[in-house]
Chain A
Amino acid sequence: MTSIETRVLQPYKYGFVTDIESELAPAGLNQDIIRLISAKKGEPEWMLEWRLKAYRHWLEMQEPKWANVQYGPIDYQAIHYYAAPKRPKQLKSLDEVDPKLLETFEKLGIPISEQKRFAGVAVDAVFDSVSVATTFKETLAKAGVIFLPISEAIREHPDLVRKWLGSVVPYNDNFFAALNSAVFTDGSFAYIPKGVRCPLELSTYFRINAQATGQFERTLIVAEEGSYVRYLEGCSAPSRDENQLHAAVVELVALDDAQIKYSTIQNWYPGDEQGKGGIYNFVTKRGKCAGKNSKISWTQVETGSAITWKYPGCILQGDHSVGEFYSVAVTNNRQQADTGTKMIHLGKNTKSTIISKGISAGHGQNTYRGLVKIMKGAEGARNYSQCDSMLIGDKCGAHTFPYIDVRNSSAIMEHEASTSKIGEDQIFYLRQRGLKAEDAVSMIVNGFCKEVFRELPMEFAVEAQHLLGISLEGSVG
């Protein structure tokens, strides 16, 4: 045993396929497909128009090439934009959900039968293009909280959705956001009324199952004045040899004194050791602190996907509003990640904090890319950024691109960065105390990520630590 590297990677644990009959739209993207999706969802006319507008715009756009990632061309006409498990009628209760689906989510550790529920967490489970179950609807309804698959919300609360959809990420924001706006199939909608502290944590679990499909979910969370909500998001996909596209959009709106905490554990299939297969995770996430004293926190643990391209950001519009970004991104084998955040300070005395931890192993390439922009009117803005990279082995890479754009001289900016290599000497030290090499790496990495993990809810923190162990298994010899 001479170097910190190699050994066989433990197979991706969530890579099974659910054998279920799917209703699949023909491959390819055109206006008819969009009409079909809209019709399947029983959408009002304005929604279809919005989709078509996005689609026409998308046709004019170029796929972005500035990220520090490499992949072959994506054939957008080879993708199925709609896949749903066959189930003709509308579900009235969870008892009617196909047992195979329930089983799938149980296997993933996401109990959607309410007897086995997580205490205090309401779950929306999305399977390919449709939401299969949302738990605790009644408990939430009593508090006035709306938590629905977005397709249902569009039918049942059209005015609310119409008011906020695209208000943070416009349909023409970027190439993948435009694509998503045209073809999004499901996702979650949450609305927390004025002054309500959401009685449960809200959670959505996304599962890609069908072959040659993309998943394009859209999530919209609106926190009215003085409300509070904590939202958790998880995901996984079967192990397949071909790449699958996941292009989601998440929009958050926090009004005066409202607070949204958004946590993600991203565990899409990362591809095999040679870099075959895996999800292209091209996601646009943005929150708008529209009201004064509002606060939005993003916490993400990114262990999956062949390629990750995402920059959850905050627009700090309200005076005294606060944006936070806590991130752990792991790339092992041939994974590539280009991720970070954007903090746009518009309001007075706005504050942002960025803590980013990048871990690279194998041939993984990890890029932090972040923008902190202080606009002219943002008197007294503050930012603190900390970007730490850790390298495991000598074939991986860590890159940092922090962009800082300050247009108001009263701003206070702090930036710290470090790159460290996990040392043979650290591992030997821990092994000498009785720990296995894998446990030693796991302990070192978890310590490195501590500042981010402590932002996660308890169950998520435990899962994150566990996932990190699996993701890095095999990276030490």
Chain B
Amino acid sequence: MPPMLEIKNLHASAEGHEILRGVDLVVNVGEVHAIMGPNGSGKSTLAQVLAGQPAYTVTQGSVRYEGQDLLDMDPEERAQAGVFLAFQYPVAIRGVTNAYFLRAALNAIRKARGEPELDPIDFLAVLEEKLQAIGWDDSFVNRPVNEGFSGGEKKRNEILQMAVLEPKLAVLDETDSGLDIDALKTVAEAVNRLRSPSRATVVVTHYQRLLNYIVPDFVHVLVDGRIARSGGKELALELEEKGYDWIKPEAAVA
């Protein structure tokens, strides 16, 4: 069986400016990988490129997802195939309730997979079940998508979407940024409940503190658009202690 995600020598740029300069990464099903790195190292770019953000141009390299050429797929095809990105900055959709949006998204995915679409009543049952699974109430289900949400609510909303859409590969882009410690725990607990042997998760974060709650199997450090070092969860603690500076020379050598 091919790995869930296989990134080879990935180069990507935005507005002519190269940000990713040869990323290599393999993620297998059931694993949790953390991507860390200083500001501007390309962490979020990597997350966005995996989701197919049209603002980035891939100039070199390949990305295979379950053996398929991921870069050849439209963003919606990637989503339908099970790739999910929890956005760093989720956008608001005025006048559209979360429940309506989630049903439309789930049905688009189900349709693409040849599964029957859910009517509003069946969907509510699914939603109820997912909320229970992550231990949340339905307080923002009927509010417009991200409109008037606090930073923390937006991040929680991303995780709720993940719970409903049940991706195979979830990429969480700085899901911890802007969260206070209580909100961080709530979000991390939900993500942990969504851990599964049939799912892989890539957690992009600047700080080690999230990884106290979502414990990764692997940690990678991205510096200047390349993975400069990889290791186990202890690498994150080392970074917490020493900062990122000590890694840079190695990247330069490589």
Tell which of A211-219, A224-232, A272-280, A426-434 binds the partner.
A426-434
- Given known A443-B96, A447-B144, contact A434–B76 (CB-CB < 8 A): yes
Assess whether A449 is interfacial by the CB under 8 Å rule. yes
Q: Do the beta carbons of A444 and B93 come within 8 Å of each other?
A: yes
Q: Do the beta carbons of B79 and A425 come within 8 Å of each other?
A: no
Instruction: Please give, as numbers and ranges, the residues of chain A lying within 8 Å of B112 by CB-CB distance.
Output: 434
Instruction: Please give, as numbers and ranges, the residues of chain A lying within 8 Å of B93 by CB-CB distance.
Output: 426, 429-430, 443-444, 447
Q: Do the beta carbons of A450 and B108 come within 8 Å of each other?
A: no
Which size class do B's interface residues fall under? 20 to 34
Q: Give CA–CA (A444, B78) in the complex, Å.
A: 21
A residues neighboring B (CB under 8 Å): 1-2, 423-426, 428-437, 439, 443-444, 446-451
**Min CB gap A443→B, angstroms:** 6
Assess whether B141 is interfacial by the CB under 8 Å rule. no
Tell which of B32-40, B49-57, B130-138 binds the partner.
B49-57
Question: Quick one: which of B80, B95, B96, B144 contacts A434, CB cutoff 8 A?
Answer: B80
**Min CB gap B58→A, angstroms:** 13
Q: Do the beta carbons of A446 and B95 come within 8 Å of each other?
A: yes
Tell which of B84-92, B187-195, B198-206 binds the partner.
B84-92
Instruction: Please give, as numbers and ranges, the residues of chain A lying within 8 Å of B79 by CB-CB distance.
Output: 431-434
Q: Do the beta carbons of B55 and A429 come within 8 Å of each other?
A: no
Q: Give CA–CA (A448, B108) in the complex, Å.
A: 21
Question: Quick one: which of A429, A439, A443, A450 contacts B90, CB cutoff 8 A?
Answer: A429
Q: Give CA–CA (A1, B108) in the complex, Å.
A: 20
Instruction: Please give, as numbers and ranges, the residues of chain A lying within 8 Å of B105 by CB-CB distance.
Output: 430, 433-435
Q: Do the beta carbons of B54 and A424 come within 8 Å of each other?
A: yes
Residue contacts A-B, CB under 8 angstroms, 24 given: A424-B54, A426-B91, A426-B93, A428-B75, A429-B93, A430-B105, A431-B52, A431-B74, A431-B76, A431-B79, A432-B76, A432-B84, A432-B87, A433-B105, A434-B106, A434-B108, A443-B93, A443-B96, A443-B104, A444-B96, A447-B94, A447-B95, A447-B96, A447-B144
Known: A424-B54, A426-B91; 11 extra A-B contacts, CB below 8 A, are A428-B54, A431-B52, A432-B51, A432-B84, A433-B165, A434-B79, A434-B80, A443-B101, A447-B93, A447-B95, A449-B95
**Min CB gap B16→A, angstroms:** 13
- Given known A428-B54, A429-B90, A443-B104, contact A450–B95 (CB-CB < 8 A): yes
Q: Give CA–CA (A437, B161) in the complex, Å.
A: 19
- Given known A439-B108, A443-B101, A443-B104, contact A431–B95 (CB-CB < 8 A): no
**Min CB gap A427→B, angstroms:** 9
**Min CB gap B163→A, angstroms:** 13
- Return the chain A residue nearest B108 by Cβ: A434
Assess whether B109 is interfacial by the CB under 8 Å rule. yes
Query: Per-position contact with A for B98-127: 1 when CB-CB < 8 Å, else 0?
Result: 000100111011001000000000000000
Instruction: Please give, as numbers and ranges, the residues of chain A lying within 8 Å of B84 by CB-CB distance.
Output: 432
- Return the chain A residue nearest B90 by Cβ: A429
Q: Which of B175-191 contact A (CB under 8 A)?
A: none
- Return the chain A residue nearest B85 by Cβ: A432
Q: Do the beta carbons of A425 and B91 come within 8 Å of each other?
A: yes
Instruction: Please give, as numbers and ranges, the residues of chain B lying within 8 Å of A451 by CB-CB distance.
Output: 95
Q: Do the beta carbons of B75 and A432 come within 8 Å of each other?
A: yes
Q: Do the beta carbons of B52 and A432 come within 8 Å of each other?
A: yes
Q: Give CA–CA (A446, B109) in the complex, Å.
A: 21
**Min CB gap B191→A, angstroms:** 18
